[in-house]
A and B are shown apart, each in its own frame.
Chain A
């Protein structure tokens, strides 16, 4: 099991998501993907070092992928780990009912 731990280990994903700053970084990438550290840093009241540390944890959890493009290092959101957690507990039959409730919630809350 040891060698396979990294794959099946959702702990890193949950730990990475447990922090509001890291969720904020993912929100920023969700709005627009492929950003540099400098761009991400400019939207946070935090040192460059702090943002780097959070990005590294997101990368280790597989939630962010850094790719070099020319002279820049761009950060992309990798949605797959969250999808795998979704698939673990929500199958395609349950999904329809869940989606219906989520839609209902958004509709009610938007019109409120």
Chain B
């Protein structure tokens, strides 16, 4: 068994049976994100990405680089939720929603520019993003988050 080193560009892709608008809403409104994103209440506007923990603590307070609803969202990422990761350099997350014309969308999440945030890279890799995306898929397709 080989152990992977932290990847500084990570790509996650998932098909979701939902419209682009539903997916967009699910990734930009706190009522939705609280149900699948480790309890984070995330509000994304054209120029700002705000993430708060269940007790109001700041988990993310970041600029938005691209905001093209309901297709493409690019924002900065810092791991403010973990004292161990706070000091690391900011990285970047890109959400792309591609309508497949069959009632489904292909959602691609790319987390890159992680060269200055290797601990974050290791933490979000594997179960991190996958857990979030698989729970998002379950929430949108069944109305219930992954248990």
Contacts and interface: CB of A to CB of B under 8 A. Distances in A.
Interface of A: 3-4, 6-7, 27, 30-34, 62, 65, 67, 76-80, 83-84, 87, 91-92, 106
A3 B102 contact: yes
Interface of B: 1-2, 4-5, 7, 9-15, 17, 102-104, 108, 110, 126-127, 130-131, 133-134, 137, 146-147
Contacts of B9: 33-34, 76
Contacts of B137: 84
Nearest to B131: A83
B2 A91 contact: no
Main secondary structure of the interface of A (DSSP, over half): mixed
A87 B135 CA distance: 10
Contacts of A32: 5, 7
A78 B4 contact: no
A106 B146 contact: no
A84 B146 CA distance: 11
Contacts of A65: 11, 13, 108
Given A33-B7, A80-B12, A80-B14, A91 B130 contact: no
Given A32-B7, A84-B14, 18 more contacts: A4-B102, A4-B103, A7-B17, A31-B2, A31-B4, A33-B4, A33-B9, A33-B10, A33-B11, A34-B9, A65-B13, A67-B11, A79-B130, A80-B14, A80-B130, A80-B134, A83-B131, A84-B134
A80 B104 contact: no
Contacts of A67: 11, 110
Given A3-B103, A4-B17, A87 B146 contact: yes
A83 B17 contact: no
